[in-house]
Amino acid sequence: MITSQRSHYLNILAKNNNILLLSDNPYPAFDAIRDNFAISVHHNMQQEELNNIHATLLHHKINIILLDATSSSPKAKEFYHEIKVHNPRILVISILDVETAYNAVKMTQNSDIAIFAPFTLEEFKGKLFDVLSIIYTILSIGKHHVSPITKENDIEAFLNTQSGAILFIVDQLTEINIALENGELSHEILIDISTNLKKISDIFSLNDSFSKLIPNFTELIEFIESIKFDRLEASTLKYFDYLANIIEDVNVSMMHLFDKKIISDISMCQLSLKRNIELLKNLFNKEIDVTSHLEFFDD
């Protein structure tokens, strides 16, 4: 799932990072993605650039480097050494080819990731996605989240800082929903849905405008957790299709709010979710029988 959505996630992960390509060669794949980054620069690997590398890294606040070793492994090693002297935490992606790989073994071992030239745009996106995921994970483990846990009442800033976390949750819910739609119903799946909805609710608590959605999410979470899986009747299993539809529409609404930045959809999300939870409860209580049809958002 993540592999097929690299283009989307790359934009989210890259926007707070600064990247430098060190190469005497043009790379169309780099040109195709460079606008995703806050700063992206391409410098050659001549001696003058090596002499000024510390100033370059400091001026542009570079934290990711594409280091081309296809023309000269010894020169690439010199650059690598100076880069790590400047800041050992800078992530380095080494660009290699068959001819230079043998002479660059040591640098390959020290690099965070290596990619072999020639490479396609999708291969390049994959490597960047891996590197940016490392940055996101390290920041999260260190409690210095890409989405800081602070009250943020500026909606635009809130959407920007929390979009990465929300989209990862959406990806998790999508995977769970696929399993649910394929009939892989279990107590564990219900717990997974509940856990991810709680994560969304926790993020909503960081902004006053979004916090009004918390009661709706809490109601849905409590209902899901109240389901006694071992006591379900066969006739009620079909109602989980409606739950899958609700989860899918939650995902769509998160994409509208955090990716497309359609702020007006907050109220629409609140009203639609409230209505659909009521319908779901009624289905399980056998008070009404309706066809699963939701009108959450139109693309």
pLDDT at 197 over 60: yes
Q: How many CB atoms are closer than 10 A to CB 295?
A: 10
Closest CA to 167 of 139, 141, 147: 147
**pLDDT confidence band for 276 (50 / 70 / 90):** confident
Mean pLDDT over each residue of the chain, to the nearest integer: 78
Looking at residue 57, its pLDDT comes to 93
Closest CA to 161 of 144, 174, 175, 173: 144
Place of tokens 């790989």: 101
Note the pTM of the prediction, 2 decimals: 0.50
Report pLDDT digits (tens) over 76-87: 889 999 998 888
Alpha-carbon gap, residue 251 to 169, rounded angstroms: 9
Residue 20 main-chain phi, psi, to 5 deg: -125, 125
Report pLDDT digits (tens) over 21-77: 999 999 999 999 899 899 999 999 999 999 999 999 999 999 999 999 888 878 888
Alpha-carbon gap, residue 276 to 298, rounded angstroms: 16
> Which residue type occupies 229?
F
pLDDT at 265 over 70: no
Closest CA to 17 of 34, 4, 32, 42: 34
Percent share of the chain, pLDDT over 70 = 76
Query: Of all helices (H) and strands (E), which one includes residue 273?
Result: helix 265-284
Query: Of all helices (H) and strands (E), which one includes residue 99?
Result: helix 98-101
Report pLDDT digits (tens) over 217-231: 999 999 988 887 777
Cis check: omega of the bond before 118, within 30 degrees of 0 = yes
Cβ 101 vs Cβ 111: under 8 Å: no
Helices 187-204, 155-181: crossing angle, 10 deg rounding: 170
Closest CA to 250 of 227, 289, 219: 219
**pLDDT confidence band for 141 (50 / 70 / 90):** very low
Looking at residue 299, its pLDDT comes to 44
Q: Which comes out higher in pLDDT, residue 78 or 133?
A: 78
**pLDDT confidence band for 262 (50 / 70 / 90):** confident
Percent share of the chain, pLDDT over 90 = 21
**pLDDT confidence band for 288 (50 / 70 / 90):** very low
Give the Cα-Cα-Cα angle 262, 267, 273 (nearest 5 degrees).
110
- Out of 42-46, 108-112, 185-189, which region has the weakest mean confidence (pLDDT)? 108-112
**pLDDT confidence band for 294 (50 / 70 / 90):** very low
Residue 6 main-chain phi, psi, to 5 deg: -60, -40
- Distances in Å between the Cα of 255 and the Cα atoms of 111, 113, 147, 297 are 35, 30, 17, 10
